[in-house]
Structure 1
Amino acid sequence: MTASASQGASSISSSSIKRDASEMNNMVTMTTRLDANATVRGRRRPPLSRRQRGNLSTLLSRRSPFSNETGSLAIGEFEPSAAPSVDGVARSSLRDARILVVGAGGLGCEILKDLAMCDGIFVDIVVMDLDTIDVTNLNRQFLFRSKDVGDSKAAVAAKFINQRCPWMNVVPYHGKIQDKDASFYRQFKVVISGLDNVEARSITSENPIPTLLLPNRWLNGMINNLVEFDDDGDPLPETIIPLIDGGTEGFSGQSRLILPRITSCFECSLDAFAPSAAVPLCTIAETPRIPEHCIAYAYVLQWPREFPDRKLDADSSGDMKWVYERALERAEKFGIGGVTYMLTLGVVKNIIPAVASTNAIVSAVCVNEAMKALSFCSQSLNTYMMYMGSEGIYSHTFVYEQKQNCPVCTTTTHHMSVSSIMTLNSLLQQLCDGEFRLKAPSVTSSMKTLYMRKPVALEKVTRVNLDKPLKDLMTSGEELVVTDPVFPDTSLRLVVKFTDVDE
Structure 2
Amino acid sequence: MSDLGGQKHGHVYRVLTQNSPFADPDAFEPGADTIGYLRESKVLVIGAGGLGCEILKDLALSGFTDIHVIDMDTIDVTNLNRQFLFRQADVGKTKAEVAAAFINKRLGHLGAKVTAHVGKIQDFDETFYRKFNLLIAGLDNIAARRWMNATLHDMVDRTSGEPDPSTIIPLIDGGTEGFKGQARVIIPTMTSCFDCSLDAFPPQVNYPLCTIAETPRLPEHCVEYAVVVLWEQRFPGQKLNRDSPADMQWVYEQAKDRAATFGIPGVTYQLTMGVVKRIIPAIASTNALIAAALVAEALKVATYCGPVLNNYMMYMGQQGVYTHTFPYQKKEDCMVCGGAKLTMKRPKSSTLQELLDELGSHPSLQLSRPSISSTSGIVFMQNPKAIREQHEYKLQMSLKDLTQADPPVFSEGEDLIVTDPMLPTKLTLQVHLE
- Is TM-score (shorter-chain normalized) higher than 0.5? yes
Select which of 129, 149, 152 maps to 1:220: 149
1:81 corresponds in structure 2 to 30
Matched with 2:38 is: 94
The reply to whether residue 494 of structure 1 matches residue 429 of structure 2 is: yes
Q: Which has the larger radius of gyration?
A: 1
Q: Which residue of 1 aligns with 2:83?
A: 141
TM-score by length of 2: 0.82
Report what 1:315 is aligned to.
Answer: 245
Does the C-alpha gap of structure 1 residues 470 and 174 become closer, same or farther in structure 2, counting only changes over 3 Å?
farther
Matched, 1:478 2:414: yes
1:293-337 per-position Cα deviation (integer Å, ceiling 9, x unaligned): 46656x569977998899999736986885686477467x46x6x
Q: Which amino acid aligns with 1:412?
A: A
What amino acid sits opposite 2:179 in the alignment? F
Deviation at 1:247, TM superposition (A): 0.7
Structure 2 counterpart of 1:132, from 66, 69, 74: 74
- Is contact 1:249-1:352 (8 Å) kept? yes
1:178 paired residue number: 122
Matching residue of 2:139:
195
Partner in structure 2 of residue 74 of structure 1: none
Aligned partners of 1:431 and 1:90: how far apart in 2? 48
Tell me, in whole angstroms, the C-alpha distance in 2 between the residues paired with 1:307 and 1:465.
Answer: 29
Q: Is the 8 A contact 1:415 1:494 kept in 2?
A: yes
CA shift, 1:465, in A, is: 9.4
- Structure 1: runs of 5+ lacking an equivalent: 1-47, 70-76, 83-87, 197-211
1:21-40 matches, cutoff 5 A: none
Contact 1:327–1:339 (CA under 8 A) maintained in structure 2: no
More moved, 131-140 vs 178-187: 178-187
C-alpha separation between the residues in 2 aligned to 1:324 and 1:456?
Answer: 27
Matched AA of 1:139: N
Separation of aligned partners in 2, 1:419 and 1:133: 50
Equivalent AA in structure 2 for residue 378 of structure 1:
G
Does the 8 Å contact 1:294/1:330 carry over to 2?
A: no
Counterpart for residue 242 of structure 1: 170
Q: Which residue of 1 aligns with 2:60?
A: 116
Report the CA distance shift for 1:361/1:464 in structure 2 as closer, same or farther (over 3 A).
Answer: closer
Task: Tell me, yes or no, if the aligned pair for 1:451 and 1:462 is still in contact at 8 Å.
Answer: no
Q: Secondary structure at the match of 1:410?
A: coil
Q: Which amino acid aligns with 1:80?
A: E
Matches of 1:175 and 1:455 in 2, distance apart? Answer: 24
What is the CA distance between 1:427 and its match in structure 2?
4.0
Q: Does 1:160 align with 2:102?
A: yes
The 2-side partners of 1:215 and 1:178 are apart by: 8
- Shift of the 431–342 alpha-carbon distance from structure 1 to 2, 3 Å rule, reads closer
Report the 3-state secondary structure (helix = DSSP H, G, I; strand = E; otherwise coil) of the residue aligned with 1:165.
helix
C-alpha distance 187-426 of structure 1, shift in aligned 2 (>3 A): farther
CA shift, 1:414, in A, is 3.0
CA distance in 2, matches of 1:462, 1:288: 31
**AA matched with 2:245:** D
1:378 deviation in Å? 0.5
Moved more, 463-472 or 216-225: 463-472
| Counterpart position of 1:151 | 93
| Unaligned segments of structure 2, at least 5 residues | none
- Name the counterpart of 2:13: 57
Map 1:454-473 onto structure 2 (within 5 A).
463=391, 469-471=402-404, 472-473=408-409
CA deviation after TM superposition for structure 1 residue 474, in Å: 3.3
- Change in CA separation of 1:172 and 1:417 when aligned onto 2, cut-off 3 Å: same
Q: Distance in 1 between matches of 2:148 and 2:21?
A: 35
* Partner Cα distance (1:452, 1:329) in 2: 39
1:194 Cα deviation after fit = 0.5
TM-score norm. by structure 1 comes to: 0.71
Deviation, 1:131, is 0.6
1:105 paired to 2:54: no
- Asked if the contact 1:424–1:465 (Cα under 8 Å) also holds between the matched residues in 2, the reply is no
Alpha-carbon separation, structure 2, partners of 1:391 and 1:377: 33
Structure 1 230/452 Cα, relative in aligned 2: closer, same or farther at 3 Å? same
- Paired letter, 1:479: D
SS at structure 1 position matched to 2:245: coil
Alpha-carbon distance in structure 1 between the residues aligned to 2:347 and 2:229: 44
Distance 1:307 1:111, change over 3 A: same
Q: State yes or no: 1:169 paired with 2:113.
A: yes
Q: Which moved more, 1:453-462 or 1:389-398?
A: 453-462
Contact 1:110–1:360 (8 Å) recurs in 2: yes
User: Structure 1 357/125 Cα, relative in aligned 2: closer, same or farther at 3 Å?
Assistant: same
2:176–2:282 Cα contact (<8 Å) kept? yes
Q: Compared with structure 1, are the counterparts of its residues 346 and 465 closer, same or farther at alpha carbon in structure 2 (3 Å cutoff)?
A: closer
> After superposition, where does 1:232-271 map in structure 2 within 5 Å?
233-271=161-199
Q: Kindly provide the CA deviation profile for residues 199-252 of structure 1, in whole angstroms up to 9, marking residues without a partner as x.
A: xxxxxxxxxxxxx32111111110111112364x43222121111111111111
1:201 alignment counterpart: none
Match of 1:358 among 275, 286, 292: 286
Pair 229,91 (structure 1): closer, same or farther in 2 beyond 3 Å: same
Matched with 2:302 is 374
Residue 270 of structure 1, CA deviation: 1.0
Shift of 1:290: 4.0
Aligned equivalents of 1:154, 1:53: Cα separation in 2: 25
User: In the alignment, is the contact (CA less than 8 A) between 1:244 and 1:370 conserved in 2?
Assistant: yes
Q: Residue by residue, what CA displacement relative to the aligned partner does 1:148-170 show, whole Å, maximum 9, x if unpaired?
A: 11111111111111122222221
- Aligned-pair Cα RMSD in Å: 3.8
The C-alpha deviation readout for 1:78-127, integer Å capped at 9, x for no partner, is 32233xxxxx3222112221111110001101100101111xx3111221
Which digits, 9 at most, give the CA deviation of each residue in 1:410-433, with x for residues without a partner?
Answer: 122332223456666654554333
How many residue pairs get matched?
416
* 2-structure distance, mates of 1:279, 1:56: 49
Output the amino acid matched with 1:155: E
**Structure 2 CA distance, aligned partners of 1:410 and 1:186?**
22
* Matching residue within 340, 343, 346 for 1:418: 346
Q: Measure the CA separation in 1 of the matches of 2:173 and 2:145.
A: 9
Secondary structure of 1:263's aligned partner:
coil
